[in-house]
Amino acid sequence: MWLLTEEHLEPISIGAGILGTGGGGNPYIGRLRARQLIRKHGPIKVLDVDELPSDSRVICVGGIGAPTVGIEKVRDLQSFHALRAIEEYTGEKATALISNEIGGSNSLEPLIAASMSGLPVVDADGMGRAFPEFQMKTFFVHGASYYPLAVSDEKGNTVVIPEVISPKWAERLARASTIQMGCVACYAVTPMSAIQVKETAVLKTLSLVYQIGQAVLLARDKQENPVEAILNAHPGQVLFRGKITDVARRTSEGWARGSVIIEGMDSFIGSEMKIDFQNENLVAHLNGDPVCMVPDLICIVETDRGEPITTELLRYGFRVTVLGFLSPYLWTGEKGLAVVGPRAFGYDLDYFPLGKE
Amino acid sequence: MFVGLDVGGTNTDAVLMDGAELLNKIKVSTTSDVTAGLVAALEQLLRGIDANAISGVMLGTTHFTNALLEQKGLSQTAVVRLCLPATQLLPPLVDWPNDLKNAIGGFTYMVEGGHEFDGREISPLNFDELKRISNDMRRKGIESVAVTGVFSPVNPTHEQQAFDFFQEELPHIDVTLSHENGRVGILERENAATLNACLRSVGRQSICSIKEAMSLLGLKAKLYLSQNDGTLMDETFAARLPVLAISSGPTNSMRGAAYLSGLKDCIVVDVGGTTTDVGALVNGFPREASLAVNIAGVRTNFRMPDVQSIALGGGSIVYPEEMRIGPESVGFELNNRALVFGGDTITTTDVAAVVGLVRFENSNQLTSLDPSICQKWIDLIKYNIEELVDRMKLNTGPVPVVLVGGGNIIVTEDLKGASEVKRPEHGEVANAIGAAIAQIGGQVEKVFSLDKIDRLQAVEEIKSEAMRRAVTAGARMDTVEVVEIDEIPLTYLPGNVTLIRAKAVGDLYSSSGTTPDL
């Protein structure tokens, strides 16, 4: 068990930005919200999965909406209201909370509900990175239930979805409610047991993003190489280093799609990397050949400062390093790949793990 | 004829222009008594000129930034957010530096009102609560109030209703509405509105002292202030939105560079005494920054130019033992501390003189410097500038580069990545020229569902609104054109919801040089 204080928030948001693989939105507001509540209610308890009592009831909470709306109509305590609603509906009291998504600003959402309820959060999440939709969680792929679920807005409205035929349908129905609610809702899903969390969650990710962020801050402080510091905190691979020479964007069906071209520098001189994104970075091609793809993580950071760059901020001239990390194993089986593999995002590619082909 | 003024922290630059022709230019030290300093500068600039022939005075100033940094003369300010029951966890002023928050009073209120992204009401505006707030503000001696409604850039109705209400209840209080000076992003827009609110009385006073200087010299010309997006606002508008004058300096330099070089799309390198700013001109206007901009420690989403700066200028100190340049600079003391002027400090200007980039009458002070080593310094400066130029480019192809600013002689013209390098005459007063030639603009943004309205129709609607705003701000109808259209699709929403932003600009003057009636 450790206590999450105000000092942890900056490193967590940097680490969460890196594992956000280009998506997950701007963490500035999430950080301020968590800070506001920690100042009021004190630090938040973080439990290792092994510390969960066997009769635990763990509830997953997360934000759902549009990031562009969230910077104008800032989220309040929606995740807390959704938590209370699902407790009431199921008649079960939560004993701990868990993050749906450790990448990007959603990583901080359970902290809001935890601070309000006094409950601990589990050091784990349902993606080990960022993905755009509700159904894309290791919990559901590995058998944890995705219903009933509650969706709450900031006005006091809550929708409970008692039954739904698939996680994808849960996404559709929750999304439709969210839009009517004005696009900054939160959801809470029916409780999981301690065993379920152990078997279906990506473990130790909250402490991981903290360690990654802390390593970056320390390296900046000592004027050391922040990219090396990231890799020391979380083993992975430098896929490429260079300068962004082109960014092409288009929007279709509500997605920010596009690709970025990076021209090699240093040991990569003469080579070119192209990364396709759809909110998150999906596939990286080196000189035309795919070298890293979802669900493996493709993270673009500023070479000098190790600062994660979200896809909306990609711009010509940035000096960047592209890092690749192996996906949590929970994604790389047949069932996982069906939900978040390259084909699930429309690529005619068979997944192979980073470094294997 | 018109006068361009750039009042910086150290120097005041002034130019006198007749149409496209530069008639006179001066550079003097900025004085603490603003009026007296301006009178002296204008007197010198306008010697022998009939005051009646001057039809406009355009001013760029760092005064408002300094007022915030020094926390001088700021109004006691209240911040009212129309939002409840939404957007209350992070109250107004949430991430402000404590000293600035205290300096303006730090009074905040949240009340029912505001809109959703699609223009629906979050809740009806609560007038009973506004009444209670006005009474409280009266008791507390509030001088100025900033009003921010959720999604007011999409639907400003509640902000306007609050404006009317406060005008009625508290006629002596200044009211600032957030939708007039910012875009979507409530904390940043509210911060900008609050900075504006606390600058209202400073703004009025500065405008008064300039008007005083002008009337002492018999100048009946209209007064305009430069905004940070490269357009002008008239004195009435500036008195209402002084915050828009913040950081107009780099913008003016870039616009001046465009004017002097005749280029509309280029990279501008503005070398001062202590720092160099590099920015990009697109269609004659500075490209805007996409990241949040901090002003006096407060996060805003202003229309700031996207500028990269380094601590390198004509006064930067050269350290031969450590093989480095700067970041220290002799600044305004260049004329007595540099070797070439008989001082004891090696500056970049000395190095430039040794390799022949610039000539001074008395250069025998420089014999102690080895020309081949000086060439290495000049190469290092060039390399640094090339890096910045490359970062500002939008694609790999070479682009034209314009060198301006008092220190531009330290940069050679063989820059890598440049298709051509121009060093226009009068480049050292590019900022004052930029102020003098600025246009009047209007900007607007709105969210559309492109399933309900044709995209072209939406774009037309937003364009004509931007043009209408430019004309309202004082631009001549026959010269107004739309210079920027931006479409930002909002992800995760059905119906192709897109935020469209447009900016229109026009000239203040007709070709005959007369002012329009405003």
User: What does the pLDDT profile of chain B (518 residues) look like in tens digits?
Assistant: 889 998 876 678 899 998 778 999 998 877 777 778 888 889 999 999 999 999 899 999 878 888 888 888 999 999 999 999 999 999 999 999 999 999 999 999 999 999 998 889 999 999 999 999 999 999 999 999 999 999 998 888 999 999 999 999 999 999 999 998 777 889 999 999 999 999 999 999 989 988 999 999 999 999 999 988 778 888 988 999 999 888 888 889 998 999 999 999 999 999 988 889 999 998 888 887 766 778 888 998 776 788 888 889 988 999 988 888 988 888 777 888 999 888 999 999 999 999 999 888 877 778 888 999 999 999 999 999 999 998 888 777 899 999 999 889 999 999 999 999 999 999 999 999 999 988 888 888 887 877 788 888 888 999 999 999 888 877 888 889 888 777 776 666 666 777 788 889 888 764 444 443 33
Judged by CB atoms closer than 8 Å, whether chains meet at A73 and B396 is answered as no
CATH 3.30.420 for the B262-428 domain, yes or no: yes
Sequence-distant (≥ 6) Cβ neighbours of residue A18 within 8 angstroms? A209, A212, A213, A216, A230, A299, A301, A306, A308, A323
pTM: 0.88
CATH architecture of B74-197: 3-Layer(aba) Sandwich (3.40)
**pLDDT score at A44:** 98
Q: Does A235 touch chain B (CB under 8 A)?
A: no
* b/e sequence B19-44, b meaning 16+ C-beta within 10 Å: eeebebbbeeebeeebbebbbbbbee
Q: Does B151 touch chain A (CB under 8 A)?
A: yes
Residue of A nearest to B148 (CA): A72
Residue of B nearest to A181 (CA): B116
Q: Does B362 touch chain A (CB under 8 A)?
A: no
- Which among B90, B186, B493 has the least Cβ separation from residue A72? B186
- Which among B123, B151, B396 has the least Cβ separation from residue A245? B396
Q: Which residue is associated with the tokens 């010697």?
A: B47
How far CA B58 is from CA of A181, B439, B473, B509, in Å, comes to: 48, 10, 15, 13
Structural domain boundaries in chain B: 74-197, 262-428, 439-506
SS3 A155: coil
Q: For A2-203, CATH number? A: 3.40.1610.10
Under 8 Å between Cβ of A293 and A261: no
**Residue among B448, B451, B488 at smallest CA distance from B465:** B448
**pLDDT score at B290:** 67
Q: How high is the ipTM of this complex? A: 0.91
Estimate to the nearest angstrom the gap between the alpha carbon of B443 and the chain centroid. 15
- Within chain A, all domains assigned CATH 3.40.1610.10 are found at 2-203
**pLDDT score at B510:** 45
**pLDDT score at B515:** 43
What are the pLDDT digits (tens) for A262-277? Answer: 999 889 999 999 999 9
Q: A236-345: CATH homologous superfamily?
A: CV3147-like (2.40.390.10)
**pLDDT score at B516:** 39
Q: Does B185 touch chain A (CB under 8 A)?
A: yes
**Residue among A25, A26, A9 at smallest CA distance from A217:** A9
Under 8 Å between Cβ of B263 and B255: no
Lowest-pLDDT choice from A199-213, A313-327, B449-463: B449-463
Alpha helix positions (H), B217-337: 235-240, 248-261, 334-337
Token couple for B363:
């250069």
- Within chain A, all domains assigned CATH 2.40.390.10 are found at 236-345
| Cα dihedral A131→A134→A139→A143 (10° resolution) | -130
Sequence-distant (≥ 6) Cβ neighbours of residue A118 within 8 angstroms? A41
Angle at B415 between CA B413 and CA B421, to 5 degrees: 50
d(CA A171, CA A164): 10
- What is the sign of the dihedral through the CA atoms of B259, B261, B264 and B269? negative
Under 8 Å between Cβ of B434 and B444: no
Residue A285 has pLDDT above 90, yes or no: yes
Residues of chain A with pLDDT > 90: what percent? 83
SS3 B40: helix
Residue A317 has pLDDT above 80, yes or no: no
Q: Does A33 touch chain B (CB under 8 A)?
A: yes
Under 8 Å between Cβ of B238 and B401: no
